[in-house]
Structure 1
Amino acid sequence: MKRILAATAVTLVAISATACGSDDDSDSGGKTKVVFSYWGSDARQKLTESAIATFEGKNPTIDVEGDFSDWDSYYEKLATKTAAGDAPDVMSIEIRGLAEYAGRATLADLTGKVNTADLDQDVLKAGQVDGKQYAIPTGVNAFPMIVNRATVEKAGQKVPDDTAWTWDEYISIAQKVTEKNDGKVWGTEYNENPAFLQLFAAQRGEQFYKDDKIGMSEQTVKDWWILLQKIISTKAGPSAAQMLETGTNVDQALLATNASAFGSWWSNQLTTLSKGSGQELDLLRMPKAEGATTAGMFLQPAMYYTISSKTEKADAAQKFVDFLVNDPEAGAILLSDRGLPTNPKVVAAIKDKLTPADQKVLTFIDSIRSELSPIAIPPKGSMEMEDILKRATDSVLFDKATADDAAKAFLTEANAALTK
């Protein structure tokens, strides 16, 4: 995922007590207008507009205005509107922003306001802060290892048992794939997503966050960088400079362009990766550290639907959110775009409409449920974490700092962000 703008947290401090939106509840036709903010690609915008049209057809007295932004500008725009007292009625946010927005009294408590009886109750808890339901998960994602089996097998290697494979085994296979292809196809791509480090730390019995601070030891952070350096030094994967050129857009992933055999991406990105490659891709548990009892896998809400605490259109906003998470017609349009639905009834209704890749994701998530770590809501300040981690990681991978110095700097800066 691309960086979240750190300006969000700063702007939120200035939130006004002014009521959001216009004082005029209705448009010229006497309908209630609800503004819905969200981010994403052109494809997501088309799906969302289709879902909005379906909702409006079922609720002729409500108009929903989609307030769409690309990812890079989304939070800056949302924070500016919120601070000005002009927050959208329904807002999309992601897990790193939940504590921040809920803690600033920006979000309405939706307990008893949206029907959540049929939603996965464990996932639903991931929308709660201090016992209040401030957010409704749109769907769930895992962060697995994704593999192009054909590429691995063509290199004379076998995809191992993912319940038992180790990081060393993973790197060894990836290295051999690179060698077999003379560097034209890499064994693996890698990224600096905090989810990767979260999994890695969980294998050592550590949490990314604990008691509103970084819960990982300095050694674990350094060991993660050592892993990335080993991928590079063995040529199991590209150099840091080459990975930087691919960007963080899933469309440009090495897996999507058949330039890699392995890679880690969010599970709801499997369809895009498969479509880009034109080949069959599979999901695996992440490799484990020697002696680890868990792969550290976890489910995470892809994003949330929230409602402004200042909205004057609460009833209409609640109806819209209820439609998005509970109506099979909405599910049939959105499918896995915002993660696989958390409503099992919706999943059952749309299962035949899911792409083959999404079917794989559904099967994979079901297969790992008994192994999952609990969903943890990051504390305030965590919206800055991706930027902080990337700076520290790049300083190591580009040989601008030692792992010791970078780890100390990362923990200091990260904990400072969490105490603002």
Structure 2
Amino acid sequence: MNLSSRKTMWKVAALSVAVLTAVTACGSGDSGEGGGGEGGKTTITFAYWGSDARQKLTEQVIAKFEEKNPTIDVEGDFSNWDSYYEKLATKVAANDAPDVLSIEIRGLSEYAGRGALADLAGKVPTADLDQQVLASGQVDGKQYAIPTGVNAFSMVANTAALEKAKKELPKDTDWTWDQWMALAQEISGAGGVTGAEYNFNPAFLQIYAAQRGEKFYDGNKIGVSPDTLKSWWAIHQKLIETKGSPDAAKSAEIGATGPEQSLLGTNAGAMGMWWSNQLNALTESSGSEMTLLRMPKLEGATTGGMFLQPAMFYAASAKSEHSAEGAKLIDFLVNDPEAAAILLSDRGLPTNTKVLDAVKTKLPETDQKTLAFIDEVRSELSPIQVPPKGALEMEDILKRNSEEVMFGRATPDAAAQKFLTEANAAIAG
């Protein structure tokens, strides 16, 4: 998201609605089309974000749904990541929310708390879904969202780049951050590719904080200490100093892109941190073999800190006039093997065990790797927790304060206090 405050986001949404309402009042009136499709069909909208590759897959799965449900037309409402929630907030504020929408776990409490989402309990069959993962879509005991699939924030390595630098894949069951940084430095020093790319995804900090015995969210406040923030930033700083990663300016430029334009995705880097379901995009864009690894640990840490998380959720508008059709689309997306055969692991590996079994042998090599990795580390992963309201702002707040440190515009002490102040204020609302 580009907006730094959810209050600002909703104010902008309300202002946009006011402007649109005024413009509409000057127009020629209602077109009379309503929610009907051609030939008496019902038309529903489905909002989602992602890459060009995801858009193509989604168009294919929509076509398959329409083929199996000839009385329903689905209009895909695609956005890139940066504009998705701003656009969604505007539509929700205008009472024009999409019938079915994609939402990530960070936005679940926000939209459920605003009464924007319908309770899907009893409306979408969920008996075959992983019940622990399913529970992550609940807020205050109501099932506001259905998980699309699961993934884990992990280290990804380009095996060819490691071989070129004459380095072996690390033993990821016990490697440390110091070893990772040293390996990145050695790879960069060998020439050809950069050892690692870092990022400021809150998932990285959450994992690192857990290794220090801290929670990212401790109830309705941030549980990360200033010392942990400073220690975490020191990793990024050391990578830059040792040339294990690009400098702050280049890293900021790369960080504004997706997996296809990353160092890994362009064969310019050997290691990077990504969600496990992004392995396919990284592999396809680079044309190189990629391997998922556990995140490194702090020396002496009793937990790796990695956690299982829904890649995203499907939810329905509380004000949809076509709730039955919307529920049918969600049912198809999560429970139909034909949908899974199209989407594969794009939105995480299916949480429906029967669907996963049905498509397991059809998964391409990259998705087989993702499945094997999740199975291998599942017992080590922390339970899923729904973050509080304001979580949508965390990535922007963390990135902004992190870059202040990396560019030397703020001391780690000052940036840590500023991050905690801003993050806690976002949660408080």
Normalising by the smaller structure, the TM-score range is: over 0.9
SS at match of 1:67: strand
Match of 2:375 in 1: 366
Alignment of 1:346 with 2:355, yes or no, is yes
SS at match of 2:97: coil
| Contact 2:211–2:298 (CA under 8 A) maintained in structure 1 | yes
Q: 1:156 to 1:83 in 2, by over 3 A?
A: same
One of 155, 174, 179 as aligned partner of 1:169: 179
1:201 partner letter: A
1:192 partner letter: F
SS at match of 2:271: strand
Q: Deviations over 1:173-230 (max 9, x none)?
A: 111111121xx41111111111111111111111111111111111111110011111
CA distance in 1: counterparts of 2:165 and 2:342, whole angstroms: 39
| Contact 1:187–1:237 (CA under 8 A) maintained in structure 2 | yes
Q: Spell out the pairing of 1:245-264 with structure 2 (5 A cutoff).
A: 245-246=253-254, 247-264=256-273
Q: Deviations over 1:223-274 (max 9, x none)?
A: 1001111111111111111212323321111112222111111111111211
Q: Spell out the pairing of 1:5-16 with structure 2 (5 A cutoff).
A: 5-6=3-4, 9-12=7-10
1:200 partner letter: Y
Q: Spell out the pairing of 1:131-280 with structure 2 (5 A cutoff).
A: 131-181=141-191, 184-246=192-254, 247-280=256-289
SS at match of 2:397: helix
Deviation, 1:287, is 0.3
| Contact 1:4–1:386 (CA under 8 A) maintained in structure 2 | no
Match of 1:58 in 2: 68
1:97 partner letter: G
TM-score (norm 1): 0.94
Deviation, 1:50, is 1.5
Deviation, 1:91, is 1.0
Match of 2:23 in 1: none
Alignment of 1:68 with 2:66, yes or no, is no
1:121 partner letter: Q
One of 79, 82, 87 as aligned partner of 1:77: 87
CA distance in 1: counterparts of 2:85 and 2:267, whole angstroms: 33
Deviation, 1:43, is 2.1
CA distance in 2: counterparts of 1:55 and 1:157, whole angstroms: 47
Q: Which moved more, 1:400-409 or 1:152-161?
A: 152-161
CA distance in 1: counterparts of 2:7 and 2:135, whole angstroms: 23
One of 320, 324, 328 as aligned partner of 2:329: 320
Deviation, 1:8, is 5.1
| Contact 2:156–2:293 (CA under 8 A) maintained in structure 1 | yes
2:279 partner letter: L
Match of 2:102 in 1: 92
Deviation, 1:153, is 3.4
| Contact 2:151–2:277 (CA under 8 A) maintained in structure 1 | yes
Alignment of 1:416 with 2:425, yes or no, is yes
CA distance in 2: counterparts of 1:118 and 1:47, whole angstroms: 24
SS at match of 1:265: strand
One of 397, 407, 413 as aligned partner of 2:416: 407
Deviation, 1:151, is 2.4
CA distance in 2: counterparts of 1:9 and 1:52, whole angstroms: 34
Deviation, 1:4, is 5.4
Match of 2:343 in 1: 334
CA distance in 1: counterparts of 2:171 and 2:51, whole angstroms: 35
CA distance in 2: counterparts of 1:12 and 1:127, whole angstroms: 23
Q: 1:164 to 1:139 in 2, by over 3 A?
A: same
Deviation, 1:23, is 9.3
Q: 1:409 to 1:139 in 2, by over 3 A?
A: same
Deviation, 1:352, is 2.8
Q: Which runs of 5+ in 1 are unaligned?
A: 17-21
CA distance in 2: counterparts of 1:30 and 1:8, whole angstroms: 39
CA distance in 2: counterparts of 1:256 and 1:150, whole angstroms: 13
CA distance in 1: counterparts of 2:305 and 2:207, whole angstroms: 5
2:179 partner letter: E
Q: Which moved more, 1:157-166 or 1:382-391?
A: 157-166
Q: Which runs of 5+ in 2 are unaligned?
A: 18-31
Deviation, 1:160, is 2.3
1:324 partner letter: L
Deviation, 1:9, is 4.8
2:3 partner letter: L
Deviation, 1:66, is 1.3
| Contact 1:8–1:79 (CA under 8 A) maintained in structure 2 | no
CA distance in 2: counterparts of 1:110 and 1:157, whole angstroms: 50
Alignment of 1:103 with 2:113, yes or no, is yes
